[in-house]
Each structure stands twice: as structure tokens, then as C-alpha cells.
A = this chain, B = another copy of it.
């Protein structure tokens, strides 16, 4: 077969260079696309629904005559759920319940204290008012994506969570709508692409302007999100999906092969990496890959992904994997080892950590509870999983007594005058109590 996967050994002299080369990934910022997207956004801002209808016809071959026809209300969404097979209904409910339970632990609360100078200090934590979830159409229904993007907003207490998803040829998946039902979305707009992002950011006659837009999408959607950032909040910029599996050689090689496949099947530029101290085990996994690959529905995608970006890394001691984990800062980290607990304190950068041989990455994608929207391409160095904290925001609280304002005013006076901001200084000085 044409298939081959790159092997590296940490003891190779050119190991670091080779690893960096394999990890490198940059989104291409194409000037043409930027311009195209900017034009679509300007059009939506100017022409609202009229422009939306035009783009739906052009890009989705979905022709309607008024904005109303782009909206699915609570009844239509419920009806879609009711059309699903019972086992899908049940699975969606389990997922929604577990994701809710986990995310409730993330809720931040307002806090307050009075310090020794008599100043009341704190933070008031509130939910955003309106959030829009974008769900791509096309390839496959993304029910889990609806749950993972919408549920943190619902748990945060966002009053209005709406969804936008394109309806190519007027069709939208019952599975996707069914997920919208279980998370409690009561309005779905059948719009997609840059025009959907523009509509959610600026509003049209039919679509409400929201405060934050989250969810995956193609390059047009991603570019549009970047362009409206600042007018609204957005989630992080996602690259291709990746997994790093660390295995001591004691897990069944078929399990590990399939775990690597589960990322590789996402896209041709997805990345699957396996580290082991057991060279023979690496060969066994390779054999499992070769055995299982022909049986996979998405074998072309898996093969290209493993060919182009897959890696089997041999280390002398398994402990050396810790350093590599922190360099790679993987989106998904599977610790398929005997005592994963003891490793945690040394892991500084990872999106999600799957502990032990039984915890396969797909558990996290669908129903363990944590979010499957995770930082990719090494951005776990500074980004976090999507969470309730992405839909809450904070207001600082400061309340000074007359005496405290007088005392602090003296400090402000020195600092503000040092910065040559004398209105600041005088505003504080006016509150200094004259002796």
C-alpha cells in the first residue's frame, strides 16, 4: 500500500528540527478571501435580509422570498427531534445531561470584600445577553457540536441562544436540529457562511445581533469571525484537530491504532502522534494500522492525514514523553499508561487529558462531560477549552468611603501627576479631606 507514517527517535541528532517541521501549521491568510468576506459583511450591514436571501440562493441553492422563511421555531425543532430514532434521542439526552453537569462546576460567582482601608472591592459576574452558535452544514451532521457550543452558554445563564446553520438545497439534518432541541435552543436560522456570521454580528430585520459567536466553520466562516471580532466576541481560532497518545506498550495495539484514526479521520491535515519507549510496540501499532486501515469508511482521509502529518516517536525512557507533551501542547492527550495520575503535575500544556487505557478520546468528543472545543496547534499554551467562563463576564466593583478616598487620593495624585494626567490627579485631589 502507498501508506507510510514517519518515525522519529528522540535520540536522533536532528530530532528537534524534524519534530518542529512536522508540528508546523499555519492558517493561510489569503488577501482575496479577506476582501470577499469584507464585501459580504458590508452587504449584510447595508441590505440586511435582502442580502441574506440573495446569498442563501447563491451559495445554498435555497430560495425563499422573505426572512421569516429562514427561521425554524421551537415547534419545528421539536418535531425534528421527534423524528429521530429512539436510540439517538436517548444518546443526545445523555450527552446533554453529562455536559450540563460538568459545566455547572465552571460557573463563576460574584465576590466582594472590604479591605483594611475601608474600600469595598469585588467583581460582579454576569451572563452575556445573546449568543449565536454557528453549525456548518454539508459533510456530516454535527449534533455534538451543537451541544458542546450551546450548553456552556445555557449553563452560564445566557437568555437568548440562537443557532445558524446553512440549509443546502433547503435541507437541514434532523440530528443537528434534535441536538438543538435537547440543549434548549428555540430559534434556528437557516443561513450559513460569512453572511450568517455578519447577520449575527450586526443583525438584520430577521436575525438578532448577538454579543458572541461561537462554533466551527470553513475558511469563509473563520475569516468572517476574525473580521467581526471586537464588534462581538468570538471563540478561539481553530486549526486542524490533533491527538498525542503516550503509551507504555501495555494497551492493545488495535485500540491505539483506532485512537489515532479517530483524529486522522477528521481531515487530511489532522495530526496523530504516538510516543512509546517500546520500539516493538510501535511496530505492533503500525501493523494494526495497516490491518485496520482498509476496513475504515474514511480510509482516504485517514491515510492522507497519517502519511502527511502522522508520527511514531520512540523515546528511551517513557518519562521523556513529558517534555515532548509540553513542547507539543496537544489538543488531545491520551495517557495510555499504568499510572496517569502521577503524570498530571508535570503536564503544563494540553487541551484535554484522557487518563488511562480505557479513556479513549471519543468519550470526550461526545459525552464524558468536558467540552470538545479545545485549543489546537500548540495554542493550549494560552487557550482553554470552551467553557461557561466564555459566556460570563465580570464588572469590577470599587466603593471607597470618604476617608479611604482621601487616603488613596494622595497616592493617585503622585502617580497621575507622574504620568502628566492632571485631570485624573485633580479629580482625586478634590476628594482629599483638608486637615
Contact = CB atoms under 8 A, between A and B. Distances in A.
A273 interface: no
Interface stretch (A12-20, A75-83, A421-429): A421-429
A411 B366 contact: yes
**Is the interface on chain A under 10, 10 to 19, 20 to 34, or 35 or more residues?**
35 or more
Contacts of A261: 423, 426-427
Interface stretch (A139-147, A183-191, A275-283, A312-320): A139-147
Contacts of A381: 128-129, 211, 393
A159 to B, nearest CB: 10
Number of copies: 2
A418 B379 contact: no
A365 interface: yes
Q: Find the residue from A259, A266, A409, A431 having the highest chain B CB count within 10 A.
A: A431
Interface string A61-92: 00000000000000000000000000110111
A287 interface: no
Interface string A235-273: 001000000000000001011001101101110000000
Contacts of A421: 140, 262, 265-266, 298
Interface of A: 27, 87-88, 90-92, 94-95, 98, 101-102, 105-106, 111, 113, 115, 119-121, 123-124, 126, 128-129, 139-144, 175, 211-212, 229-230, 232-233, 237, 252, 254-255, 258-259, 261-262, 264-266, 296-298, 302, 340-341, 344, 347-356, 358-371, 374-375, 379-385, 387, 389, 393-402, 404-406, 408-409, 411-412, 414-416, 418-428, 430-431
